[in-house]
Amino acid sequence: MDLSIEIKNTKIVISWEDTGADYYKVFCGRNGLLSECAQISGKTSIRLSLLSYGEHECFVQAFKDNKVINQSSLRKFKFDTIDVIDCQSVNDIKFLYSTYDGADGYRLYKNFQESGFNGFKNSDSDFITVQKEDDTEYKIKAFQKSEQGRNFLASSPVVELHENKFEFLSVYKSYNYNMFLSWCFKGDADGFFIYSEHSNLPFYEVTDGLAHYLMLYDYKGSTKFIVKAYVNTENGKRIIAESDEVSLSIRKYKEPQVSLIIPAYNAQDYIARSIDSALASDFDNLEIIIVNDGSTDETEKIIDWYDLNYPNVVKINKENGGVADARNRGIEAAKGKYIAFLDNDDLIRPDMIGKLYNTVEKNSCDIAIAPLYRITDNGYTVHCNLPFNEDLPYNVDKYFEIMYTPGYYNCAIWNKLYKASLVKEHPLGILKYEDVSWTPCIFSYAEKFCFLKMPFYEWDRKTRPETFGDVLAKMPDEELFENRKQAMLFFVQNGNPEKIEYLKTIAKRRLMRYAKKSPLKLKYDELAEQIEKGKY
């Protein structure tokens, strides 16, 4: 079993090949003394923080039916820095750091701006606590004492402050009268422990540092819950933050400021999770419109439950007409000042709507954008990370200048918040490539947009790996060409005439990309040329 070791900043990432095991045990140590530091299932890698300075050894065992079925060779690596993790409260910062064998102590340095970094506090343990200050840089050095003073052995880089704190926690009713727990953690964790009140041991572990949702079964509404964030270390898991207690709560809603539209079709296996993630939003005045697009399974029954139990959930039933038609029905019914979209198998993070609403209002923009996470068995990857400064208004021409250029191909409809009046005037086209066709069109009628750098939307390809885009890609080449052609012509013909040159350029960029992977390259090239010359 192959094993690879990678140093990422001040962390160590150990990866191995998938052997089809039920779980894996990771062993780490020094000088031939190795012990188990983690047991992992569903993953083939682990990140370790706070490793002690110096030479290390590690290996991984694969288990099936509780028996070892494979084992990696012993790997050695050297860790030659000090790793630091900050844990912040209202008034204090607690710095946890990796140790150095033989050190007499550790000294915390602070950047005093005019005089640079100067040491100001010592510790002989593995943490230092100081009073919290804004916009201050820190680093930590290990030292030995001598007659001449301190001899410094190793230093951390300048500490990247993550805060590592829970911004809020909530418990609400979920389908079939279960409950769900949702949290918003700001920081850099490897996973979370979930506790019920009066328990010293967690009843559940989430081995995903970006997770924010957990279904709860068979608990009373009065039960209180606590979530603790942890990082993996060579000595096991170490807690870096703890939430306040929370129990089932009821929210009151006023007039909707944002309408979130969820098109739903035969989604009985996952739609409750998506609706729950919307209900967990920290934005109080959120209207959730769920459009049942002629489902033939239990989807309608699930939607009915939420419609009955939540006053901010609006249910719409219609005959099957496709996702674009379902979204348009939701747009017609929307009462909010702004509109957002969520697919029935994806999730939004609890602070998405609130953060996008605040920036679009502050900057008086028509559209707010943020990156999104694409989730697969290999983990999270960030998409739509645009080259704009955060929380500032931009002329929409800046968006068109990069749209469909290398690195910025994604035209996702869901990672944005749109001014409702704009969307109602320019609904989606009833086409196969509804997002490709609509995104340039709606932007052409906008004047300003703003951007946030934090991903909030989770495009989940792990729960349901095959997307409608995958289905389209399997069409015969001629049929695929016609669908793509109609998408390009939609925004060229229906977009803002004042932006026609940008729209023609965007169509050409997209068609050239399609042409590279198609046996119908000449047809794509010809269509691009005709659009550029204004023949459509």
Residue with structure tokens 């998408």?
487
- Lowest mean pLDDT: which of 6-20, 259-273, 359-373, 456-470? 456-470
**Comparing 468 with 211, which gets the higher pLDDT?**
211
Does any domain span residue 449? yes
pLDDT at 215: 97
- The yes-or-no verdict on residue 65 having pLDDT over 80 is yes
Give the whole-angstrom CA distance, residue 179 versus residue 217: 7
- H/E run at residue 68: strand 67-71
Confidence of residue 160 (pLDDT cuts 50, 70, 90): confident
Task: Give 24-33 pLDDT, tens digit per residue.
Answer: 999 999 988 9
- Lowest mean pLDDT: which of 261-265, 329-333, 463-467? 463-467
> Are residue 273 and residue 341 in the same domain, yes or no?
yes
> Are residue 409 and residue 346 in the same domain, yes or no?
yes
Task: Give 505-520 pLDDT, tens digit per residue.
Answer: 999 999 999 999 899 9
> Are residue 313 and residue 454 in the same domain, yes or no?
yes
> Are residue 497 and residue 396 in the same domain, yes or no?
no
Question: How many secondary structure helices (H) and strands (E) does the chain include?
Answer: 11, 34
pLDDT at 88: 86
Does any domain span residue 195? yes
Confidence of residue 269 (pLDDT cuts 50, 70, 90): very high
Give the whole-angstrom CA distance, residue 356 versus residue 452: 8
Does any domain span residue 166? no
Give the whole-angstrom CA distance, residue 396 versus residue 392: 12
Q: How many CB atoms lie within 10 A of CB 159?
A: 22
Q: Minimal CA–CA distance to 422: which of 529, 323, 352, 340?
A: 340
Q: Cα angle vertex 424, ends 420, 427, to 5°?
A: 120
Share of the chain above pLDDT 70, in %: 98
Q: Which residue range is the domain that position 41 belongs to?
A: 3-79
Average the pLDDT over 242-254 and give the result.
92
Give the whole-angstrom CA distance, residue 246 versus residue 115: 45
Task: For residue 233, give the CATH number of its domain.
Answer: 2.60.40
> Are residue 88 and residue 223 in the same domain, yes or no?
no
pLDDT at 407: 86
Does any domain span residue 251? no
Task: For residue 63, give the CATH number of its domain.
Answer: 2.60.40.10
- The yes-or-no verdict on residue 12 having pLDDT over 80 is yes
Task: Give 165-177 pLDDT, tens digit per residue.
Answer: 999 999 999 999 8
Domain stop point among 182, 207, 242? 242
Judge whether 249 and 277 are in contact, CB under 8 Å.
no
Query: According to the per-residue pLDDT averaged within each range, which of 91-95, 249-253, 274-278 is highest?
Result: 274-278
**DSSP 8-state secondary structure symbol assigned to residue 49:** B
Average the pLDDT over 120-148 and give the result.
92
Handedness of CA 220, 221, 223, 227 (dihedral sign): positive
Average the pLDDT over 421-446 and give the result.
95
- H/E run at residue 509: helix 500-516
Give the whole-angstrom CA distance, residue 458 versus residue 128: 36
Report the phi/psi class of residue 167: left, alpha or beta, with left for phi > 0 and alpha for psi in -120 to 50. alpha
Does any domain span residue 289? yes
Share of the chain above pLDDT 90, in %: 86
Does any domain span residue 56? yes
Confidence of residue 500 (pLDDT cuts 50, 70, 90): very high
- The yes-or-no verdict on residue 489 having pLDDT over 90 is yes
pLDDT at 468: 59
Does any domain span residue 160? no
Domain stop point among 434, 460, 486? 460
Domain count, the chain: 5
Domain stop point among 56, 79, 102? 79
Angstrom CA distances, 458 to 68, 263, 276, 379, 525, stand at 35, 16, 14, 11, 34
> Are residue 220 and residue 333 in the same domain, yes or no?
no
> Are residue 147 and residue 235 in the same domain, yes or no?
no
> Are residue 69 and residue 134 in the same domain, yes or no?
no
Task: Give 357-399 pLDDT, tens digit per residue.
Answer: 999 999 999 999 999 999 988 889 999 999 999 999 999 999 9
- DSSP three-state, residue 54: strand
> Are residue 397 and residue 443 in the same domain, yes or no?
yes
> Are residue 58 and residue 96 in the same domain, yes or no?
no
Average the pLDDT over 210-215 and give the result.
97
> Are residue 414 and residue 510 in the same domain, yes or no?
no
Give the whole-angstrom CA distance, residue 482 versus residue 46: 46
> Are residue 422 and residue 449 in the same domain, yes or no?
yes
Does any domain span residue 383? yes
**Comparing 177 with 467, which gets the higher pLDDT?**
177
